Amino acid sequence: MDLIGVLEALSQGKTALGEIIDGLWECIGEVEPTVRAFLSLAAPEDLKRRGVKLAGRTLRGVPIAVKDNISTVDFPTTCGSRFLKSFRPVFDATAVERLRAAGAQVQGKTNLDEFAMGSSTEHSAFGPTRNPNDPERVPGGSSGGSAAAVAAGEALAALGSDTGGSVRQPAALCGVVGLKPTYGLVPRWGLVAFASSLDQIGPITRSVRDCALILSVIAGHDPRDSTSLPVVPQDYVTELEGGIEGWKFGLPKEYAPRELGTKALALIDRWASVIEELGGEVVEISLPLTEFALPAYYLISSAEASANLARFDGVRYTVSVPAEDVRAMIAASRTLGFGREVKRRIMLGTFALSAGYYDRYYGKAQRVRTLIAHEFAEAFQEVDIVFGPTSPTPAFKLGEKADPIAMYLSDIFTLPSSLAGVPAISIPGGKVQGLPFGLQLIAPRLEEMKLLRAAYALEGDLA
């Protein structure tokens, strides 16, 4: 069952919360030694005891997993880094607060690429997570632990974070549903910052309707977050069944290059056929700035990471290396505390912000970002939804993409919508080489209702 199916069974007395928790922990006992989706877990008996008081609320005490860069008072928040290996926050993130208020419990914290910088969950200081569909392959990243937990049956739903595709790409590689909301729709309060102008919390679930339910709970304005949009929360579940008849779907030619291979291109043709069978119209469009999204994204996100991670200096948090002076202490602490990929991005970002290079690199990347946003706005004057693959390949093998550029290219189809700040969702779209291959749908800003409705219409026909 998906989350909503479990909630219905609980409300009708067909099952008990204790049975659901026992089932999840039985699965965890079987697959977690291989998959390694979690960095910390609650005690099942504690969840059962607390769940009695939550039975009357919307989420009825059901446990939900949370990515380990989202603040929780009752679990460490490590960000997959040595710097924070024993750090315990003193407050919950807004999204966690809202889940708890709706009756959910935090099941545990899931593994991720260190500080959410990666596309494979191989860059965690605590070891990689493996794809439940093939343990020799990656689950994607950086929310690989959340996606793997849901795909393996260890969790009914999970929260992830998406900066350039970190919810959608692992959802695609693991064969589950992942949503990146409009930037600012879900508050970032309590999300450890990577790139503040891009980071967004989103749900990873077994079904589109579960995604809609979780979004309904966590979305809405929070005055503690200066980037939070002043929007009224909606019930995104209510209009899922409206269908897509008469809607126009745009397939960018840049999202279906020959390099994808015949099997992937055949799946894209199938998606188009299903859309037309459901009453939609498919047209080819062009988003020519797609090729500039990757360099623009890595300049902007690395520059913001350089500034955000300056707080990890060896004075606060959990890593501090004694040295003869402050400068040496900071250098030694950061050398020990940060992993290789994080150091790479800090250096790239610091260089892009340095005197004489700011306008040449960071400033130019921001101008490209504005042009990409305008390009999407123009496309949405012609079509209702943009669609294409979530990732250029299915899950690749652990260690296969040692070259950083090859790894960065894994997010080539998710980066443009992140830069534009528009909502996007990945749903299972079939299989390539026997592995899950995701279909990405992109909608105009704050059109999550339309996006989820389209995803729900397609989900059943593509399963």
> Domain total for the chain?
2
Supply the CATH number for residue 280's domain. Answer: 3.90.1300.10
Question: Quick one: 346 and 201 in the same domain?
Answer: no
- Sign of CA pseudo-dihedral 234, 238, 244, 249: positive
d(CA 232, CA 318): 39
pLDDT reading at 174 higher than 90: yes
Give the pLDDT confidence score for residue 460 in this predicted structure.
Answer: 87
Query: pLDDT tens-digit profile of 236-265?
Result: 999 999 999 999 999 999 999 988 999 999
The model carries a pTM of 0.97
**Strands 157-162 vs 63-67: parallel, antiparallel or unpaired:** parallel
Question: Quick one: 444 and 336 in the same domain?
Answer: no
pLDDT reading at 365 higher than 90: yes
Domain boundary among 322, 339, 360: 360
Question: Quick one: 304 and 212 in the same domain?
Answer: no
Print the domain residue range for 134: 1-287+368-463
Question: Quick one: 200 and 249 in the same domain?
Answer: yes
Counting beta carbons within 10 angstroms of the beta carbon of residue 234, is it exposed (0 to 12), middle (13 to 18) or buried (19 or more)?
Answer: middle
Give the pLDDT confidence score for residue 316 in this predicted structure.
Answer: 80
Question: Quick one: 356 and 431 in the same domain?
Answer: no
Question: Quick one: 174 and 317 in the same domain?
Answer: no
Question: Quick one: 186 and 321 in the same domain?
Answer: no
Residue type, 242: G
Give the pLDDT confidence score for residue 86 in this predicted structure.
Answer: 86
Contact in structure between 91 and 73 (CB atoms under 8 Å): yes
Question: Quick one: 207 and 332 in the same domain?
Answer: no
Q: Which residues are catalytic?
A: 67, 142, 166
Give the pLDDT confidence score for residue 130 in this predicted structure.
Answer: 98
Question: Quick one: 20 and 118 in the same domain?
Answer: yes
Question: Quick one: 341 and 220 in the same domain?
Answer: no
Question: Quick one: 352 and 415 in the same domain?
Answer: no
Counting beta carbons within 10 angstroms of the beta carbon of residue 109, is it exposed (0 to 12), middle (13 to 18) or buried (19 or more)?
Answer: buried
Q: Which of 146-150, 329-333, 383-387 has the lowest mean pLDDT?
A: 329-333
Domain boundary among 302, 334, 360: 360
Question: Quick one: 97 and 175 in the same domain?
Answer: yes
Give the pLDDT confidence score for residue 356 in this predicted structure.
Answer: 86
Residue with tokens 């390694």: 36
d(CA 308, CA 237): 36
Domain boundary among 305, 333, 360: 360
